[in-house]
Amino acid sequence: MNQEIINLVNLKRYYYVGAETVKALRGITLSIRKNEFVALMGPSGSGKSTLMNLIGCLDTPTSGQYWLNGKDVSKMDDNSLAEIRNKEIGFVFQTFNLLPRSTALENVMLPQIYAGIGKADRIDRATEVLTSVGLADRITHKPNELSGGQRQRVSMARALVNKPSIILADEPTGNLDSKTTIEIMGLIEEIHKAGNTIIVVTHEEDIARHAHRIIRLIDGQVDSDTLNKKIRTMEYYQGMIKA
């Protein structure tokens, strides 16, 4: 049985706006095991973005505990959180978040600079992951010279470059057409098969159906947490094309 990589215990996050208290998360308790593929869903205001920020160590909870790979990160300071983020979590964003004046290779190398890796090793590793996502012939291209799907592949290569245990994808196909969405979700499936824990934050049912487990939030609480019995894989789409 795979061990728990994420363990949240009664996690709460409140925001204070003047005299008003906004209870974004009202006590989340859940665990995610190594190499799970999880979709985190919920309508606007459900708390899924707040939960994503906490899981990604971009924010700290008001109360409760967050254990990541056996470490209690819920009370870490900003510097410690930054170190955890760089080592343990790879981020994939809807808007790609690429540096516009840097090449694909330079964008992918960036997390390695923060990790203190030497230049020659940075180039080798960045080239390796860009090749693995199908961009061996695009490493010197800047974002404006790439399609939306290619830019998301650069973003995914950047997420993988430091060999994190978790890939956290926030609406990863939100800016992509249908064909490219299928390609990117196929790539995410391959990353999962290679051993990464995948957490996809989405409001789209079609995207969530790629996951093996679907967690739905409502009003800052877990409304349901179910195994997906009808996983939508690349074979599903290939079957549709053949039909």
Q: Note the pLDDT tens digit of each residue in 57-85.
A: 999 999 999 999 999 999 899 999 999 99
Q: Which CATH architecture has domain 37-49+86-242?
A: 3-Layer(aba) Sandwich (3.40)
Task: Please say whether the beta carbons of 56 and 85 come within 8 A.
Answer: yes
226-238 pLDDT, tens per residue? Answer: 999 989 887 766 6
- The span from the CA of 205 to the CA of 9, in Å, is 27
More confident residue, 232 or 144: 144
For the stretch 106-115, pLDDT in tens is 999 999 998 8
What's the chain's average pLDDT?
93
- Residue 187 above 60 pLDDT? yes
Starting at the earlier edge strand, list the strands of the sheet with 37-41: 89-93, 166-170, 197-201, 37-41, 213-218, 221-227
Residue 231's nearest CA partner among 192, 180, 177 is: 192
| Cβ atoms of 215 and 225 closer than 8 Å | yes
Query: What's the pLDDT at 243?
Result: 45
Strands 4-17 and 20-33: antiparallel
pLDDT in tens, 13-48: 999 999 999 999 999 999 999 999 999 999 988 999
pLDDT at 241: 47
Beta bridge partners of 30: 8
Q: Is the pTM of this model over 0.85?
A: yes
